[in-house]
C-alpha cells in the first residue's frame, strides 16, 4: 500500500457555534470532533498525520495528539483559505511519497472506509480523487462539474452561475492526490474569486490543465456530515448514536429502548449484554458477555465482568472494575473500586478507592470515607467479609477475610479476619419515656398557641 500522508485542516473559527470552546473541541459521543477525523485517518492507514491549526490552539493539538501521538502541527496565522492552510503544512508533504489526503476537521462521522473511497481511485490510476456527496439541499456547497467519470472543476457556491447551482453533486470533505501531483499544482492556486481566498477546490482545474486525470468518489451523505452550529452538533450526535446502536444490536446486544441508550465512541460490549432504558456510557467502558445493566445507570471509565448485574440507578465512575457475577444495585456509587467475583453492593452505598474481595457483602448505606481533605486513601475488604448497613469505613483501613462489621459501626482501624467489629452505642430503654416526651411537646404547643392569642 502506498504511503498515505493526511493533513487535517483545523484552523476554522466556528463562529456559528457561539462558544468560547473551539468548534473542533465540541464532542460527539464523548470525543472531540477533530478526534473522530484523526481516528478515521488512522483507520484508513495514514502513515503520517499533520494538522493545520490557528495560533494558540494548544487544546486542539492535544485533542489530535490523544488519538495520533506522532501528529505534526502547523499554524495558519492568516485565514486566507483552504489552499493557503495546506501550504502551511509544506514540511509534511514536500518530500513525502505515495498519496496525500487533505481533510476538513469538522466531520465527526467520518470513518476509514470513506477515506478509502478516494485512495482506491488513486490505486486505480487516477492522479487525484475528490470526495463528493449529494445533500438534500446543496446550498453553500461547492459543485462538482463532471464529464463522465472525470471531475473537471469544483465551483464554490458563491462563484457558481445559475446553471451550476442546479448541480446536486457537491464537494464533501476529502481531497486526495498523488503527492507529486499536489506538489506541482498547489502553488498555482490563485485567489481571484468572490472571497479573495485560495481554494483547495481550484486544484481540480489546475490538475486537469496540466494533463492529470482527476476522478471522484461519492460518499453517503450521513458519513460526511459537517458541524458548524449547535443544531448540526446535535444532529451529528444523533446520527452517531444511531450508528452505534445498530452495530451493537447486530453483534448480539439487547437494547430494550435503543433511543434512550447513549454510548461513547469507544464503548465495548460483549455478546448477550442486556441494557434497559436510559443508560449512559461515558468514555472508557468495557462490558463482558452476559452482563445485565438496569435502567438509569451511568457508567464511565469502568470494566464490567461476565455475568455482572448493574443498577438500576447505579453510577460507576472511572477506575471501577467489576469481576464476574458481581452485583451493584440501586443508588450505589463506585469510584476507583475493584469489586471481586460475586461480591454484592446492592443499595444506597458509596465505595470509593476500595478493593473488595470475592463474595463480599456490603449492606445498605455503608460507605468508605476515602478522603481526608487532602489525600485519598484505600479501603481493603477481604473475601467473604460482611459489612453491615449504615457503616462507615474510615480509610486507610483493612477488613480481614470473613470479618463481620456490625450495622451502624464506624471503623477507623484494621479488623482481623473472622472478627466481629462493633462500635455502636448501647441501647437505653426508659419505660414510659415516649409518653412523657409527647406530653411535653403537646404542653409546649398549647402554651405557644395561648401566647399568640
Interhelix angle 58-67/33-43, nearest 10 degrees: 40
**CA 85/CA 393 separation, integer angstroms:** 58
Exposure string (b/e) for 279-306, b if CB count within 10 Å is 16 or more? bbbbbbbebbebbbbbbbbbbbbbbbbb
Residue 447 in domain:
no
Residue 147 pLDDT > 80? yes
Q: Tell me, yes or no, whether 27 and 173 share the same domain.
A: yes
pLDDT band at 162 (very low <50, low <70, confident <90, very high): very high
Residue 120 in domain:
yes
Reported as a single tens digit per residue, the pLDDT across 187-242 is: 999 998 888 899 999 999 999 999 999 999 999 999 999 999 999 999 999 999 99
The closest alpha carbon to 312, from 336, 328, 300, belongs to 328
What mean pLDDT, rounded, does the chain reach?
96
- Comparison of pLDDT for 34 and 437, the residue scoring more: 34
Residue 442 pLDDT > 80? yes
- Between the CA of residue 193 and those of 13, 167, 223, what are the distances in Å? 21, 20, 29
Domain of 55, CATH number, reads: 3.90.550.10
The pLDDT score that the predictor gives to residue 14 is 82
Residue 361 pLDDT > 80? yes
Q: Tell me, yes or no, whether 154 and 104 share the same domain.
A: yes
Number of domains comprising the chain: 2
Q: Tell me, yes or no, whether 91 and 163 share the same domain.
A: yes
Q: Tell me, yes or no, whether 23 and 62 share the same domain.
A: yes
**CA 174/CA 318 separation, integer angstroms:** 36
Residue 450 in domain:
no
pLDDT band at 411 (very low <50, low <70, confident <90, very high): very high
Helix (H) or strand (E) holding 139: none
Q: How far is CA 375 from the centre of its chain?
A: 29
Reported as a single tens digit per residue, the pLDDT across 270-314 is: 999 999 999 999 999 999 999 999 999 999 999 999 999 999 999
pLDDT band at 118 (very low <50, low <70, confident <90, very high): very high
Helix (H) or strand (E) holding 247: helix 230-250
**CA 444/CA 450 separation, integer angstroms:** 10
Beta bridge mates, 379: 354, 397
Interhelix angle 33-43/112-123, nearest 10 degrees: 40
pLDDT band at 124 (very low <50, low <70, confident <90, very high): very high
Q: What is the DSSP letter of 209?
A: H
Residue 60 pLDDT > 80? yes
Q: Tell me, yes or no, whether 217 and 110 share the same domain.
A: yes
Strands 292-293 and 361-362, how do they pair?
A: unpaired
**CA 70/CA 81 separation, integer angstroms:** 26
Q: Tell me, yes or no, whether 145 and 21 share the same domain.
A: yes
Q: Tell me, yes or no, whether 56 and 192 share the same domain.
A: yes
Residue 453 pLDDT > 80? no
The closest alpha carbon to 265, from 24, 29, 33, belongs to 29
Residue 432 in domain:
no
**CA 65/CA 42 separation, integer angstroms:** 12
Q: Is this prediction's pTM over 0.85?
A: yes
Q: Tell me, yes or no, whether 200 and 295 share the same domain.
A: no
The pLDDT score that the predictor gives to residue 193 is 83
**CA 162/CA 51 separation, integer angstroms:** 36
Q: Tell me, yes or no, whether 207 and 77 share the same domain.
A: yes
- For 385, other C-beta atoms within 10 Å of its C-beta total 25
Quote the percentage of the chain above a pLDDT of 90. Answer: 91
Domain of 364, CATH number, reads: 2.160.10.10
Contact (Cβ atoms closer than 8 angstroms) between residue 301 and residue 285: yes
- Between the CA of residue 223 and those of 107, 179, 364, what are the distances in Å? 8, 25, 48
- Comparison of pLDDT for 393 and 14, the residue scoring more: 393
Quote the percentage of the chain above a pLDDT of 70. Answer: 100
Residue 442 in domain:
no
Residue 310 in domain:
yes
pLDDT band at 449 (very low <50, low <70, confident <90, very high): confident
Residue 239 in domain:
no
Residue 111 in domain:
yes
The pLDDT score that the predictor gives to residue 152 is 96
Reported as a single tens digit per residue, the pLDDT across 64-98 is: 999 999 999 999 999 899 999 999 999 999 999 99
**CA 293/CA 313 separation, integer angstroms:** 10
**CA 194/CA 191 separation, integer angstroms:** 9
Q: Tell me, yes or no, whether 210 and 299 share the same domain.
A: no
Q: Tell me, yes or no, whether 214 and 335 share the same domain.
A: no
Q: Tell me, yes or no, whether 18 and 143 share the same domain.
A: yes
- Between the CA of residue 36 and those of 56, 266, 287, 439, what are the distances in Å? 21, 11, 22, 70
State the catalytic residues.
Answer: 347
Mean pLDDT within 398-413: 97
**CA 224/CA 133 separation, integer angstroms:** 8
Helix (H) or strand (E) holding 386: strand 386-387
Domain containing 22 equals 4-223
Burial class (CB in 10 A: 0-12, 13-18, 19+), 136: exposed
Amino acid at each position: 500500500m502506498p504511503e498515505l500522508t493526511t493533513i487535517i485542516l483545523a484552523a476554522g473559527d466556528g463562529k456559528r457555534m457561539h462558544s468560547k470552546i473551539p468548534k473542533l473541541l465540541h464532542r460527539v459521543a464523548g470525543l472531540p470532533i477533530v478526534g473522530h477525523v484523526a481516528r478515521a485517518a488512522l483507520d484508513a492507514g495514514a502513515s503520517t498525520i499533520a494538522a493545520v491549526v490557528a495560533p494558540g490552539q494548544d487544546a486542539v493539538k492535544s485533542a489530535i495528539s490523544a488519538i495520533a501521538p506522532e501528529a505534526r502541527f502547523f499554524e495558519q496565522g492568516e485565514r486566507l483559505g483552504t489552499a493557503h492552510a495546506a501550504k502551511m503544512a509544506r514540511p509534511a508533504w514536500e518530500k513525502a511519497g505515495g498519496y496525500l489526503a487533505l481533510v476538513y476537521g469538522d466531520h465527526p462521522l467520518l470513518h476509514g472506509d470513506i477515506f478509502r473511497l478516494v485512495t482506491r481511485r488513486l490505486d486505480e490510476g487516477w492522479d487525484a480523487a475528490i470526495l463528493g456527496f449529494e445533500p438534500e439541499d446543496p446550498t453553500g456547497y461547492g459543485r462538482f462539474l463532471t464529464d463522465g467519470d472525470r471531475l473537471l472543476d469544483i465551483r464554490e457556491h458563491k462563484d457558481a452561475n445559475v446553471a451550476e447551482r442546479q448541480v446536486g453533486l457537491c464537494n464533501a470533505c476529502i481531497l486526495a492526490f498523488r503527492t507529486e501531483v499536489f506538489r506541482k499544482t498547489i502553488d498555482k492556486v490563485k485567489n481571484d474569486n468572490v472571497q479573495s481566498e485560495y481554494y483547495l477546490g481550484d486544484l481540480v482545474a489546475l490538475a486537469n490543465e496540466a494533463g492529470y486525470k482527476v476522478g471522484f468518489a461519492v460518499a453517503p451523505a450521513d458519513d460526511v456530515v459537517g458541524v458548524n452550529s449547535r443544531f448540526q452538533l446535535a444532529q451529528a450526535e444523533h446520527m452517531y448514536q444511531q450508528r452505534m446502536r445498530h452495530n451493537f444490536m447486530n453483534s448480539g446486544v439487547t437494547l430494550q429502548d435503543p433511543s434512550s441508550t447513549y454510548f461513547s465512541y469507544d464503548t465495548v460490549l460483549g455478546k448477550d449484554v442486556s441494557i434497559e432504558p436510559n443508560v449512559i456510557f461515558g468514555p472508557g467502558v468495557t462490558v463482558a458477555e452476559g452482563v445485565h445493566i438496569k435502567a438509569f445507570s451511568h457508567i464511565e471509565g469502568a470494566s464490567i465482568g461476565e455475568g455482572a448485574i448493574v443498577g438500576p440507578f447505579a453510577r460507576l465512575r472511572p477506575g471501577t472494575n467489576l469481576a464476574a457475577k458481581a452485583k451493584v444495585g440501586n443508588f450505589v456509587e463506585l469510584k476507583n473500586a475493584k469489586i471481586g467475583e460475586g461480591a454484592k453492593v446492592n443499595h444506597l452505598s458509596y465505595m470509593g478507592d476500595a478493593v473488595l474481595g470475592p463474595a463480599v457483602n456490603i449492606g445498605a448505606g455503608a460507605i468508605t470515607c476515602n478522603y481526608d481533605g487532602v489525600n485519598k486513601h484505600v479501603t481493603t475488604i477481604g473475601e467473604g467479609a460482611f459489612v453491615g448497613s449504615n457503616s462507615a469505613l474510615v480509610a486507610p483501613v483493612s477488613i480481614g477475610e470473613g470479618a463481620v462489621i456490625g450495622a451502624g459501626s464506624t471503623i477507623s482501624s484494621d479488623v482481623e479476619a473472622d472478627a466481629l467489629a462493633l462500635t455502636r452505642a448501647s441501647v437505653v430503654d426508659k419505660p414510659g419515656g415516649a409518653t412523657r416526651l409527647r406530653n411535653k411537646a403537646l404542653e409546649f404547643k398549647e402554651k405557644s398557641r395561648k401566647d399568640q392569642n
